Amino acid sequence: MNTNPLVSTWETPYGLPPFNAIEPEHFATAFEAAMATHRTEVDAIATEPASPTFQNTVAALDRAGQDFARVAGVFFNLTASETNDALQAAERELMPKIAAHQSWLSLHEGIFKRVDELYQKRHELGLGGEEMRLLERVHLDFVMEGALLKGDARARYAAITEELASLFTTFSQAVLGDEAAFCLELKTEADRAGLPESVLDAARSVAADKGIDGYAINLSPSLVDPFLTYSTRRDLREHVWRAFKARGESCPERDTRPVAEKIIRLRAELASLMGYKNYADYALVDRMAKKPAAVDDLLMRVWKPARLRALEEQKDLEAIAAREGFSGPVQGWDWHYYAEKLRQERYKLDEAELKPYFQLDRMTEAMFDAAGRLYGITFKEIQNVPLHHPDARLYEVNDASTGGIVGVFITDTFARPTKRGGAWMSEFRGQSRNRPGGLEYPIIINNNNFAKAPAGKPTLLSLDDVRTLFHEFGHGLHGLLSSVTYNRLAGTNVLRDFVELPSQINEHWALTPQILKKHAIHATTGEAISDELISLIKKSEHFNQGFLTVAYTSCALIDMSLHQHPDPASLNLSAFEMAECKRLEVPEAVGMRHRLPQFRHLFADNGYAAGYYVYMWAEVLDADGFEAFEASGDVFNPVLAATFKRYILSAGNTLDPAEAYRAFRGRDPDVQALLRGRGLV
């Protein structure tokens, strides 16, 4: 009798993974079986005696590997959001094997020969638009993953990808280890001075998770930021700020810098094998930007006014600090504290007074409401279905007009030591109509790291938290509303600098009056947010934008510079970061949002390597796109929403992204919209 649930048929609601039966030791056997099946499927396609056709080669290849995708979907989601020692051990063992399997496929000569034969005569095949797009994407995938390499270069490419997979795991687990190890107990009233009730509630939950009777601060940004904003204890603010910035280099046995340096060297070698001058040139081949110069041009257009604005903001903060008797220069651990005081003075807007209006459950309803207004879908919570963690919640998503199921949406919103930091969307099953005998609709999950309130109290969100909630849900909608035939083209499988458009434009609907008046209900008084507060929120949108833009753009610029390093063999990560910050004249009190030793976007996988700029590239699109809704006089304009859904959310990668945007907007985007949106014009 087979007792491994991962290799059995899942007789579960919606075809969900049987979470309550899965153990870490099941993954090795499951991956071994799934990879063997995948190899058999691929070899059968490669040795098909009939001449290659789109159906017997490209469509068949897209259909292959369903068992592997199913097991991988569970594995990668659990290692990110609910890990443990046994699962981390399995991750260290399995990641090189998974990378080797993926290299085996990308370097499969028999398959590539058939794909290449079709590609060379693609205009003679009479293919439809989606089929042509799939053939071209699959061919490019093979080429960019080494299919044209020969002999020793081919073997070295495979070895590099396998070693990188192991290094990514080491880096991620080290940063998570640093985050889990930190704990600042707030033992006395003096330690808690200045902290509003919402922060104390979150600190009480952190303490309870660590078995402490009292209050504690961890390194979740959802708790670090408000602590830095309200704590009157400058010494404790400095302690928390330094710990947060030192992740990845604070503990010798978890020092990520040698790991990151090795990753950069291997990426440079890989790019050289592929015939590129550096890794940035290689990575940008399959991006909208195409060349590093285009990225640098956009970033520097924003960097210069943002840096000047940040310096002006610093002077304003030092002025208010001086009035309170503090004469020293504002440091990183002071910025949030004095910025909040200045915001209250300038806009009469107190984050602590705002938070009770942003209850997590009501803001979740708000994002569902906005999606329903725009795209005609409904969300129904389904309870008593086993999930990967008790805090996770599951919703059935339906088409409001037909009642048909669109997909399944899971939320996992709270920070915990077993979950990596940040916020992200993922999937347990992607949308596809090329999955034989399987369910076509997707299972999407959004992960956030909000500070959880104690039992019986509502979790309250900051304005930034609300934007993050809607941001990740934008990715979720991209996955849920996908309506394409092929796995490779579905959902968020688009160019990296296009994938942030659905998420970033969705943030705009979070703070619209229509949504706030209905869902921003005070947790204590039960009153709806006032028109006055909504107006103040709108007026304060550009506040602190110099700081926020510099903190992000410095990371994007340094990422691009790092992946164009002229001599990676000599790279010293700390010295490089310091030199780059000096070259760019990054204001010391602002710094980088993510320092290199903890920069998971760059070193947890290859996805955002030479690609952290994509948020700003997509912001040009989202700012310009939302201006279309505003100009129409109705931010929920049904015609525009239907067009956006058709060409952006539902189209996946069936269209070139520039063409898709033009189909929605009627023209190319205007970069000035980004500057207007950030108040930097």
Neighbours of 409 (CB within 10 A): 25
pLDDT at residue number 2: 57
- Whole-number Å distance between alpha carbons of 607 and 603: 9
Q: What type of residue is 603? A: F
Concatenating the DSSP letter of every residue in 646-662 gives IIIITTTTSS-HHHHHH
Give the HSE-up count for residue 454: Cα atoms under 13 Å, Cβ half-sphere. 13
Spatial CA neighbour of 460 closest among 521, 517, 396: 521
Q: What type of residue is 20? A: N
What is the arrangement of strands in the sheet containing 377-382, beginning at the earlier edge strand? 377-382, 393-399, 405-414, 443-450, 424-429
| DSSP E strand stretches across 202-355 | 216-217
- What domains are there in the chain, each with its CATH number? 10-148 (1.20.1050.40), 182-246 (no CATH), 356-539 (1.10.1370.40)
Q: For the chain, how big is the Rg over CA atoms in Å? A: 25
Q: What type of residue is 458? A: P
Concatenating the DSSP letter of every residue in 590-636 gives T--SS-GGG-HHHHSSSTTTT-TTHHHHHHHHHHHHHHHHHHTT-TT
Cα 538 from chain centroid? Answer: 26
User: The tokens 């929120």 sit on which residue?
Assistant: 537
pLDDT at residue number 81: 96
Neighbours of 389 (CB within 10 A): 14
pLDDT at residue number 1: 46
pLDDT at residue number 437: 79
The CA-atom distances, in angstroms, between 637 and each of 370, 406, 644, 660 are: 12, 22, 11, 19
- Whole-number Å distance between alpha carbons of 408 and 426: 12
**Average pLDDT by consecutive 10-residue portion of the chain (681 residues)?**
85 96 97 98 98 98 97 97 96 97 97 98 98 98 97 97 97 95 97 96 93 95 95 98 97 97 98 98 97 97 97 97 93 97 93 94 98 98 97 98 97 94 96 90 97 93 96 98 98 97 98 97 97 95 96 98 97 98 98 97 97 97 97 98 98 97 97 93 82
User: What is the crossing angle of helices 332-347 and 221-230, to 10°?
Assistant: 70
pLDDT at residue number 327: 87
Largest CA-CA distance found in the chain, in angstroms, rounded: 83
Residues with active-site annotation: 472
- Whole-number Å distance between alpha carbons of 385 and 612: 37
pLDDT at residue number 439: 86
